[in-house]
Amino acid sequence: MKRDGSDFSAAIMGSLLRARQVTIWTDVDGVYSADPRKVSEAVILRTLSYQEAWEMSYFGANVLHPRTIMPVMRYDNLIRNVFNLSAPGTMICRPAENEDGQKLESPVRGFATIDNVALVNVEGTGMAGVPGTASAIFGAVKDVGANVIVISQASSEHSVCFAVPEKEVAAVAEALKSRFSEALNAGRLSQVAIIPNCSILAAVGQKMASTYGVSATLFNALAKANINVRAIAQGCSEYNVTAVIKREDCIRALRAVHSRFYLSKTTIAMGIIGPGLIGATLLDQLRDQAAVLKEDFNIDLRVMGITGSRTMLLNDVGIDLSRWKELVKDQGEVADLEKFRQHVHENHFFPNTVLVDCTADSNVASCYHDWLRRGIHVITPNKKANSGPLDQYLKLRALQRQSYTHYFYEQLGTLSYIFNNFKGTRAFSNVVEEAKQAGYTEPDPRDDLSGTDVARKVIILARESGLKLDLSDIPVQNLVPEPLRACASAEEFMQQLPQFDNEMARARQEAEDAGDVLRYVGVVDAVSREGRVELRRYKKDHPFAQLSGSDNIIAFTTTRYKEQPLIVRGPGAGAQVTAGGIFSDILRLASYLGAPS
């Protein structure tokens, strides 16, 4: 007897004896929704129909051989673990009739894969409308004793594609080239092409036939995991949908589709770039919420790497965020951004990858295009990419719109805090120092006071409004005193800033005498197609004058909101707020990738 001969014998005996039930004792607890060695969250299926069991066993679910099912299709067939008698096992039986109030379950019962296959593509205009072409192709395959696993043919009859075991593909190719040598030489056939190193992924479920959108969901999950499908096949019964993919993508594909049909958690491999004030706060927020997200919302966020400018920490299964600072210190290695990207992204057990850039580094921002091209999602509060050279911005946005990758960014403010608190007799330098200590400014406050940061926000808003502007197009009122612009360090700047307090105090007093307040604003004028950044005075009843703390405000004056502008107001600076915005984008990404919302 060959493989599973004893199971087959038992099935025959059960059929001859007309047994009510045939129990197959094996070394696993039952039939899983996917190979548990590849998908750790795979679940044991309590019941399967005969058709579902047949399809899964054919496509690689090795717990049961297809031949075992045939003799006992009139009876129940139970698979149980001889080493775990408490496990209920999987009952293979006729599908139960639908009942009102029945618990909803996925139309896809399970997934199976076959590795080490190759695709054979026979293509040519001379095939269309010629009777017997398919017979000749598969007759040649039969003559060399090869087993065809999947067949896919274009409706135009221009090509026939099929999968065979990789060990048999050389003989198949040779037989086809010999059989069709005349057609190849005459140009009626253009090629007999071999695509090696493939795997087959099959989704199986009897309810797929009566459920709309199963194929759409399946291929959407593969696309979002950046997995290319080489060939597709589906039988008229619709009990399975089969896709041929690269072998190297097999595990990632299996986990992506298993997760998408709510059979397992939506798992995202994350890389955090820049564990400074914002990055560290985000890591703490992830630590505090990870367990709740995993247990209550089926979202598994794995931080696979943390990197600063000098040191990085990598882990194959996820960093323990309760002691990440200690781990960076003890196990950190020299930072290498490309190695970091490869580590986070190229782990085949995690179908989705996001890199979170918490820096203000233009060199990191310049990598976004390459990351998106590779299928890596990007989330960032870094304004450099969206406010950089216009041609690079347009290229980045075009790539993001054409792909299944997502690019989310946060834009928060600093100078609102300074001018909201620059009142009474307070010195301007004291307010700036307070904002710096609270983490509201860049490490060098000149980056904020120069107006460049606000100008970047103006550029981003203008571009999102359809205006094609560059930073050089924005006139900016620089609040850094001229003598201090060349200071060697932020520390030197802060030491000398009090010398210029009187100048800002005079501007504040003049505004107060007129019943106004000072506000540093950015303006986007869509009509004149321009933007500007300047220090303005507003009456105390104006919405901009009502701000407090670190609140930001945006006023939209449009055709519909002309007499009374639309006002959007809220916290606009600080590590907790910025990190919270990034965290929100991470959850939004998880929702797009299939997590329940």
CB atoms within 10 A of CB 428: 22
Residue 379 near residue 409 (C-beta atoms within 8 A): yes
Mean pLDDT across 106-124:
90
Count CA atoms within 13 Å of residue 262 on its CB side. Answer: 11
Same domain, 156 and 68: no
Give the residue from 432, 277, 453, 447 showing the smallest Cα distance to 359: 277
**Residue 104 lies inside a defined structural domain of this protein:** no
d(CA 549, CA 431): 11
Same domain, 379 and 433: no
Count CA atoms within 13 Å of residue 359 on its CB side. Answer: 21
Same domain, 219 and 196: yes
pLDDT at 2 over 50: no
Q: Which is more confidently placed, 67 or 189?
A: 189
Mean pLDDT across 98-121:
76
**Residue 215 lies inside a defined structural domain of this protein:** yes
Same domain, 425 and 566: yes
Q: What is residue 334's predicted lDDT score, i.e. its pLDDT?
A: 97
Which residues are paired to 203 by β-bridges?
A: 111, 241
Catalytic residue, candidates 457, 468, 539, 562: 457
Same domain, 447 and 498: yes
Tell me the residue type at 382: N
Q: What is residue 415's predicted lDDT score, i.e. its pLDDT?
A: 78
Highest mean pLDDT among 226-235, 524-533, 550-559: 524-533
Give the residue from 302, 399, 313 showing the smallest Cα distance to 353: 302
Q: What is residue 365's predicted lDDT score, i.e. its pLDDT?
A: 95
Which residues are paired to 160 by β-bridges?
A: 122, 153
**Residue 103 lies inside a defined structural domain of this protein:** no
pLDDT at 139 over 80: yes
Mean pLDDT across 353-364:
94
**Residue 597 lies inside a defined structural domain of this protein:** no
What band does 97 get if pLDDT is binned at 50, 70 and 90? low
Give the residue from 115, 107, 116 showing the smallest Cα distance to 201: 115
Q: Which is more confidently placed, 431 or 350?
A: 431
Task: Choose the final residue of a domain: 260, 286, 316.
Answer: 260
Residue 153 sits at φ, ψ, to 5 deg, of -130, 135
Same domain, 446 and 315: no
Mean residue pLDDT of the chain comes to 87
We report the CATH number of the domain holding residue 190 as 3.30.2130.10
Is residue 424 classed as helix, strand or coil in its secondary structure? coil
Maximum separation of any 2 CA atoms in the chain, in Å? 105
**Residue 523 lies inside a defined structural domain of this protein:** yes
DSSP 8-class letter at 294: H
Mean pLDDT across 93-100:
58
We report the CATH number of the domain holding residue 285 as 3.40.50.720
**Residue 222 lies inside a defined structural domain of this protein:** yes
Same domain, 446 and 378: no
- Give tens-digit pLDDT for 50-75: 888 878 877 766 666 666 766 766 66
pLDDT at 161 over 70: yes
- Give tens-digit pLDDT for 447-464: 889 998 899 999 999 999
Q: What is residue 102's predicted lDDT score, i.e. its pLDDT?
A: 43
What band does 428 get if pLDDT is binned at 50, 70 and 90? very high
pLDDT at 216 over 80: yes
d(CA 314, CA 307): 8
Q: Which is more confidently placed, 22 or 166?
A: 166
Domain of 584 in residue numbering reads as 266-411+579-592
Same domain, 425 and 530: yes
**Residue 102 lies inside a defined structural domain of this protein:** no
Same domain, 222 and 284: no
Same domain, 547 and 561: yes
Task: Choose the final residue of a domain: 241, 260, 279.
Answer: 260
Residue 457 near residue 413 (C-beta atoms within 8 A): yes
Mean pLDDT across 324-335:
96
**Strands 191-204, 240-246: parallel, antiparallel or unpaired by DSSP?**
antiparallel
**Residue 105 lies inside a defined structural domain of this protein:** no
We report the CATH number of the domain holding residue 458 as 3.30.360.10
- Give tens-digit pLDDT for 502-554: 999 999 999 999 999 999 999 999 999 999 999 999 999 899 998 888 788 89
**Strands 47-49, 76-81: parallel, antiparallel or unpaired by DSSP?**
unpaired
pLDDT at 353 over 90: yes
Q: In total, how many domains does the chain have?
A: 4
Q: What is residue 86's predicted lDDT score, i.e. its pLDDT?
A: 76
pLDDT at 99 over 50: no
Percent of the chain with pLDDT over 70: 92
Residue 137 near residue 172 (C-beta atoms within 8 A): no
Q: Which is more confidently placed, 173 or 153?
A: 173
Percent of the chain with pLDDT over 90: 53
What band does 26 get if pLDDT is binned at 50, 70 and 90? confident
What band does 101 get if pLDDT is binned at 50, 70 and 90? very low
Task: Choose the final residue of a domain: 260, 275, 301.
Answer: 260
We report the CATH number of the domain holding residue 60 as 3.40.1160.10
- The model carries a pTM of 0.76
Q: What is residue 72's predicted lDDT score, i.e. its pLDDT?
A: 66
Q: What is residue 226's predicted lDDT score, i.e. its pLDDT?
A: 86
Same domain, 157 and 283: no
How distant, in Å, are the alpha carbons of 154, 190, 468 from that of 121? 11, 10, 46
Residue 337 near residue 371 (C-beta atoms within 8 A): no
Active site residue 562: no
Q: What is residue 549's predicted lDDT score, i.e. its pLDDT?
A: 80
Same domain, 174 and 146: yes
Q: What is residue 103's predicted lDDT score, i.e. its pLDDT?
A: 46
Is residue 569 classed as helix, strand or coil in its secondary structure? strand
